[in-house]
Chain A
């Protein structure tokens, strides 16, 4: 198991290298640079030259890459052009903000969507099934920014139960921090229910049509036993994979939700950095996101044997 995990991590290195090179090159292919953005229409040739020199943008691209990559090998992602902060601590602090929302939302969504999908498949074509599928489609179709605004209007403005703007870290004040996280979590939770429920239902339907399920029923097993012991374990594989993909995707940043609820997370950092052409932060964020994605999917793969003994690390 350990060897498998290490192999997977080593295999990720070429991926991360490709990400590093392509992000470095691609972001510089986009017109505009941070120096001219910082000075705007106030720029004079002298002030622009000063700032470019200070930011190291006056050096050739290969030299810039060599410096950045050399620092990267030492674990130093550099300094943000906008905020002049070291990038790695900045990314890590923003990541934890996003992660606490994403992990809770996906966990809750999985706990609701997977059993609901199982039941919908079990009761296929019934009113319950149609209702659940319709609800899932509806939740999936609503853009997260709009769903967020609806929640904000209802729970924040109409009922006045939850704060509409601002952010308090759970570390600073657990209760208030929790209140500020309720709506972002609820937004993601509702959206991901739609995604996961449809997958859980579809994969369960496939399994329920297989012969061994008919055999289990013919043996006289209760429907609960058929569903839980025989159908669920086999049907959960594709949903589990999807949970991994969703987690990897969301942990890379939930910029829209973070913007609506003024959450200082990783997604907002990345989007702001792109608009500001803050090259080192963009590069650092993209590498971090790629690494997170690889790591999450590794964990997902390592967990397969827990519910499907046919899958082994080998």
Chain B
């Protein structure tokens, strides 16, 4: 009887998961939309960017490189960008990519009705203005900007801008509303069942930028080697672990705390990689207590960062006290020299600061995949042992973000999203606090240097400025960088070729037995 019952239950399951060349990937949340750069979040960008591509995209190190473009020529005055399109690129509907498509997309993106997330990045409101876009022939697009800007290509390639994706005009319905993305990416949209799953299938007519099998950010070899991929929305980490163990899930991001246990499972493989996300301790320098430079320096000296990082990242992270991402080309010998743990100096600085035990509150949140709370706990313990009266206030993420935006805090254990170019990495936290209370560093000399970094193209000159800014931020302590984020991905051993990168679940060049 028992066997009969078991057999009856098993029958339908045999036809369920694990069809050859099909993958089931667990994701934490449903996508918000399938309209590139409109109503988006990181997970939405990740899915959409498997189906669409832009003229340029990030390479593995975060530098924008030609993608739909074969090459990009920049005029001597730094204001004219000429994109030559790759030949043989097709949309999912079989239509050939031409410069007319790029023009149509640009017009659509700059139309406020599109609600593109990045319109304000290109219309002059954020300092960069595209004055004209022309298509002199079918393979050439010329974009002119108002003044030289070292970040123009970077902004075009940004994932939150959906890489300024070029989609076919049939992506829209007859009434002009968005229908579905008909892009040039390695995968085509399959089915989207809201709240449950979304799928994509291989685009057989895909023209990969390279075909050597080497993955390089969004630009290297991008061949779709699996037939289809199903992204299943699974919120509970314990359920994900059960799904990976049972084989119902082929691949998923997992909690850092689960990595050791999952590595013991014979059918699974766990891969980890540092991301450009930066875990930081923000400090409100306008606070009556935290405005004291000596106190901030004492706090920095009181933290044994290697211990903080080991505890907060379950031994997966590496200390990086620079604003520059550890795999960036700008992360040089100067950036490796960061904060130093020195309890004696901390004690001396505390005495010089005249600190009298005033309470210091550290805000943190308990999102499962963000080390905000564990980092805050270790920091609090170290500060207390140095004689600093630190407390933790746990908030939900939306409330913490609100306090961040309003500058209403003393300290926060916070995560800065990925920023590749050093100019944007610094701009992310530096600026005028009167205009933008979320900014934490308002040193006028530093702001002038960052402005210069925004326009400067010369690599050596830029590195020099980055080095100076790095030293300055260590000295001023408006915030303390701790470590870069860590991607922890578990996958079935039948999955080959997957490489974690910037929390993106890139499915190209991935095979399944």
Contact = CB atoms under 8 A, between A and B. Distances in A.
Contacts of B166: none
Contacts of B399: 30-32
Interface in B433-476: 435-436, 438
Contact of B242 (A45, A165, A176): A165
Contact of B243 (A82, A84, A165): A165
Contacts of B40: 38
Contacts of A156: 242, 246
B171 interface: no
A65 B32 CA distance: 25
A56 to B, nearest CB: 13
Interface in B114-148: 115, 117-121, 125-126
A163 B248 contact: yes
B246 A94 contact: no
A69 interface: no
B31 to A, nearest CB: 9
A45 B125 CA distance: 9
Contacts of A50: 112, 115, 119-120
Contacts of B404: 41
A115 to B, nearest CB: 25
Contacts of A153: 242
Contacts of B436: 45
A30 B398 contact: yes
B239 A36 contact: no
A41 B232 contact: no
Interface string B224-238: 000000001111101
Contact of B248 (A36, A161, A164): A164
A275 B402 contact: no
A179 interface: yes
B120 A262 contact: no
Contacts of A159: 6
Contacts of B112: 50
Interface in B276-293: none
A262 B252 CA distance: 15
Contact of A262 (B115, B235, B397, B417): B235
Contacts of A84: 32-33, 39
A195 B141 CA distance: 70
B398 A31 contact: yes
Interface string B1-29: 00001100110110010000000001001
Nearest to B116: A50
B254 to A, nearest CB: 14
Interface string B495-512: 000000000000000000
A254 interface: no
Interface in A70-86: 82-85
B210 interface: no
Contacts of A276: 398
B405 interface: yes
B253 interface: no
Interface string A26-49: 000011110011111111111100
Interface string A268-281: 11001001110000
Contacts, number: 145
Contacts of A261: 239
A37 B32 CA distance: 13
Contact of B195 (A36, A162, A264): A264
Contact of A36 (B197, B402, B414): B402
Interface string B404-415: 110000000011
Contacts of B239: 152, 164-165, 259-262
B41 interface: yes
A302 to B, nearest CB: 34
B179 interface: no
A128 to B, nearest CB: 27
Contacts of A275: 396-398
A165 B6 contact: no
A18 interface: no
A76 B23 CA distance: 39
A165 B9 contact: no
From A31, A94, A264, residue with most partner B Cβ within 10 Å: A31
Contact of A166 (B41, B121, B248, B401): B248
B160 interface: yes
B355 interface: no
Interface string A80-101: 0011110000100010000000
B346 interface: no
A175 interface: yes
Contacts of B204: none
Contacts of B236: 259-260, 262
A1 to B, nearest CB: 39
A107 interface: no
A159 B234 CA distance: 22
Nearest to A47: B120
Contacts of A179: 9, 12-13
B245 interface: yes
A149 B238 contact: yes
Contacts of B401: 32, 36-37, 40-41
B100 to A, nearest CB: 28
From B112, B196, B240, residue with most partner A Cβ within 10 Å: B196
A167 B195 CA distance: 10
A23 B26 CA distance: 33
Nearest to B429: A41
B120 A43 contact: no
A138 B454 CA distance: 64
Contacts of A47: 117-118, 120-121, 126
B195 A54 contact: no
A131 interface: no
Given A42-B417, A157-B242, A260-B238, A83 B32 contact: yes
Given A41-B428, A176-B12, A264-B194, 17 more contacts: A30-B399, A36-B398, A38-B40, A39-B117, A41-B417, A44-B126, A45-B435, A152-B239, A156-B242, A160-B13, A166-B197, A179-B12, A259-B239, A260-B238, A262-B235, A262-B236, A275-B398
18 contacts: A40-B417, A47-B117, A47-B120, A50-B120, A82-B39, A152-B238, A157-B245, A157-B246, A160-B10, A160-B246, A164-B246, A165-B239, A165-B240, A165-B246, A166-B248, A175-B12, A259-B236, A275-B396
Interface of A: 30-33, 36-47, 50, 54, 82-85, 90, 94, 149, 152-153, 156-157, 159-167, 175-176, 179, 259-262, 264, 268-269, 272, 275-277
